[in-house]
């Protein structure tokens, strides 16, 4: 919801109600990795949810990572059930643009994905990422276990220390349990968008500051 040029999250009562079922169909398989987009996923795989600005470029970052089994983009963190892209862009759903990453923890650690997350955007910008402005571009991590939550919070604290030393402000990334914030897949044309449109827009860009995840803890 926008008052002037300042994005503001709606309250649950203000948010659009949405619909009980999705208004569109999600493709069966990933256009690059070839694996199914939707679960249930094979035993032994884990799920991670990251919001770091426009999900087109963000998704590509993760599907190019070894050990990632599939990725899909969607909406999370808000109140509207089964929202459309237009509804999310209105600012009246409370959702942010998210990449769901399904990965093999034996091949790539959650900490490695966290490092990629932090280094691929500026987590201090609040309701924007670069030139993209709106509540749907806010930084977020939605966790699927206590271990993920602990790792996410530890990595945030470690990265805050190095960002502060480089002149950046406080991290605004929200870290919340995924169980409390349902994930809704986005429309078919958003899935693997930059594979279908190689010259398409990608607003993803980091701070240039290395994240010490896996190198040092926040207490070092």
Longest distance between any two alpha carbons in the chain, whole Å = 49
pLDDT tens over the chain, length 220 residues: 444 468 999 999 999 999 999 999 999 999 999 999 999 999 999 999 999 999 999 999 999 999 999 999 999 999 999 999 999 999 999 999 999 999 999 999 999 999 999 999 999 999 999 899 999 999 999 999 999 999 999 999 999 999 999 999 999 999 999 999 999 999 999 999 999 999 888 888 899 999 997 543 333 3
Nearest to 66 by CA among 35, 107, 120, 109: 107
**Helices 146-165 and 110-119, packing angle to 10 deg:** 40
pLDDT of residue 60: 97
Q: How far, in Å, CA of 61 to CA of 120, rounded? A: 8
| Per-residue pLDDT at 3 | 41
For this structure, is 89 an active site residue? no
**Model pLDDT, residue 219:** 39
- DSSP codes, the chain: -EETTEE-PPPTTTS--B-SS-SS---SB-TTT-SBSSSSPPTT-EEEEEE-S-HHHHHHHHHTSTTEEEEEEEEESSS-BS--HHHHHTT-S--EEEEEEEE-TTTS-HHHHHHHHHHTS-TTSSSEETTEESGGG--EEEESSHHHHHHHHHHHHHHHHHHHHTT------EEEEGGGS--EEPPGGGTTHHHH-TTS-------SPPP-TTT--TT-
Query: Which of the following is catalytic: 54, 89, 202, 211?
Result: 54
| Predicted pLDDT of residue 201 | 86
| Residue 5, pLDDT score | 65
The pLDDT score that the predictor gives to residue 214 is 59
């Amino acid at each position: 919801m926008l008052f002037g040029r300042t994005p503001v999250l709606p309250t649950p009562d203000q948010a659009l109600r949405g619909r009980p079922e999705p208004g569109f169909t999600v493709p069966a398989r990933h256009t690059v990795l070839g694996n199914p987009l939707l679960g249930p996923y094979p035993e032994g795989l884990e799920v991670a949810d990251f919001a770091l600005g426009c999900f087109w470029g963000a998704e590509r970052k993760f599907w190019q990572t070894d050990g990632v089994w599939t990725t899909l983009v969607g909406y999370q963190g808000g109140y509207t059930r089964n929202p459309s892209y237009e509804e999310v862009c209105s600012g009246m759903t409370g959702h942010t643009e998210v990449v769901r990453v399904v990965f093999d923890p034996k091949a790539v650690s959650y900490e490695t994905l966290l490092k990629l997350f932090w280094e691929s955007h500026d987590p201090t910008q609040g309701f924007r990422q670069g030139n993209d402005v709106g509540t749907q571009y806010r930084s977020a991590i939605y966790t699927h276990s206590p271990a993920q939550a602990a790792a996410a919070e530890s990595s945030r604290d470690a990265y805050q220390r190095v960002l502060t030393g480089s002149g950046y402000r406080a991290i605004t990334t929200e870290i919340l349990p995924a169980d409390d914030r349902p994930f809704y897949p986005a429309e078919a044309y958003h899935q693997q968008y930059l594979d279908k449109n190689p010259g398409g827009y990608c607003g993803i860009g980091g701070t240039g500051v290395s994240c010490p995840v896996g190198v040092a803890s926040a207490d070092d």
